[in-house]
Amino acid sequence: MTANPLDPGQYGDNVRVLHPFADAWTADRLVHHDFPEPNWAITGLVPEGLSVLAGAPKVGKSWLALGWAVAVAGGYRALHAIDCAAGPVLYLALEDNPRRLQGRILKVLNGAPAPAALYLPTACPNLPAGGADMIRAWLDAHPDARMVVIDVFAKVRGQAAGSNAYSDDYRAAGLAKAIADEYGIAVVLVHHTRKMAADDFLEELSGTNGIAGAADTIHVLSRSRHEADAVLKTTGRDVEEAERALKFDQPTGTWSLLEGPAVEHTVHSTSATILRYVRGHQGATPREIADATRLGYDNTKRTCSRMAQRGQLVSVGDGRYAAPPEPGTGVAP
């Protein structure tokens, strides 16, 4: 068993030559070190680091991003459900002009006071061509800032001569991540998804894997049916993997978080009724479900079979069904 590496600060640069990785963590030191919890722009949803918020055109991702920005800058509730600590926010509204942006802000605020801490430029150079430096300068002037939103990433991505798409994606996203890491804040890139569906929602991001590779957190907003208007799927290094059912309010342009597992809001009402019952009565038969919920027996039996085929229920033998493990809903405690 070898001793811990020597402290390079004690012995100078020669130690680095004699002992490569002299400043590396050893397992015993690492497991006993107390690291601070990550900073959260929106608790349980948007941590410090680089986040990507992606969705198809017109799905409402810009409304969602603007709602997040307003909630954080004003200390309001994100998704009408998650309390936010107030702090300055830089929202780069690069697809808007001031007149249209004014209308969007008034709509989202719905009579609430406009936060003075929300900064709304409508132009910014490409990140590699000075945009990253401008964001850094704003952060230097606002040391208590909590979030930067870039809507949309394509407007600041840039393209280097002789480079390929992956390099351009990774370089620009890497600059955004470097800002997030340097200042310990959340940087959110609003981005598009591909037109073609994918089995893994991470593969839905438009462009190359360079964007996903640089991101700490990825959110994909996709349309839904039935009670929910959309589902927000989330994965990342510091967040719980989750699916959240959301409802869009057209008059105010705001998204709200629906309570409970997303699947209960994205299936037919009969399926939702069955699922809610089975979650509380694992191993129930179609007859037991039908009697308890007053659904027709034949319809219940057919629906249970279809739900099992889709993975919404689990057949446990003897004609009985159980609910699968609930994915995270992301609701803050």
Name the pLDDT band for 273 (thresholds 50, 70, 90). confident
Class of domain 40-265: alpha beta
Let me know if 22 is exposed, middle or buried by CB neighbors in 10 A (0-12, 13-18, 19+): middle
Name the pLDDT band for 168 (thresholds 50, 70, 90). confident
pLDDT at residue 330, rounded to an integer: 43
pLDDT over threshold 70, residue 324: yes
The overall average pLDDT reported for the chain is: 87
pLDDT at residue 1, rounded to an integer: 43
Contacts 24+ apart (CB under 8 A), 286-295: 286/319, 286/321, 289/321, 295/270
- Classify residue 260 as left (phi > 0), alpha (psi -120 to 50) or beta: left
For 199-227, what is each residue's pLDDT tens digit? 556 666 766 677 888 899 999 998 876 55
pLDDT at residue 73, rounded to an integer: 98
pLDDT over threshold 90, residue 78: yes
Q: What is the mean pLDDT of residues 157-172?
A: 82
CA distance 51 to 190: 9
CA distance 305 to 314: 9
Q: Where are the alpha helices (DSSP H) in the chain?
A: 8-11, 13-18, 27-31, 61-74, 98-109, 131-141, 165-183, 209-214, 269-280, 286-293, 297-309
pLDDT at residue 93, rounded to an integer: 97
pLDDT over threshold 90, residue 189: yes
Name the pLDDT band for 20 (thresholds 50, 70, 90). confident
Q: Map tokens 């942006």 to a residue.
A: 101
CA distance 134 to 138: 6
Residues 6+ apart with CB under 8 A from 81: 256, 257, 331, 332
Peptide bond into 148 cis (omega under 30): no
pLDDT over threshold 90, residue 196: no
CA distance 17 to 142: 41
CA distance 25 to 37: 19
In terms of Cα–Cα distance, which of 75, 249, 317 is closest to 257?
249
pLDDT over threshold 50, residue 105: yes
CA distance 304 to 314: 9
* Bigger pLDDT: 91 vs 57: 91
Q: What is the mean pLDDT of residues 48-76?
A: 95
Domains 40-265 and 269-322 share a fold: no
Name the pLDDT band for 197 (thresholds 50, 70, 90). low
Q: What is the mean pLDDT of residues 277-291?
A: 93
Domain definitions of the chain by residue range: 40-265, 269-322
Q: Map tokens 């605020």 to a residue.
A: 109
* Cβ(252)–Cβ(270) below 8 Å: no
Which CATH number does the domain 269-322 belong to among 3.30.930.10, 2.70.98.10, 3.30.565.10, 1.10.10.10?
A: 1.10.10.10
pLDDT at residue 190, rounded to an integer: 96
CA distance 228 to 247: 5
CA distance 290 to 270: 11
* Bigger pLDDT: 88 vs 204: 88
Q: Could you tell me the two tokens for 255? A: 């998204």
Name the pLDDT band for 331 (thresholds 50, 70, 90). very low
- The pTM assigned to this predicted structure is 0.75
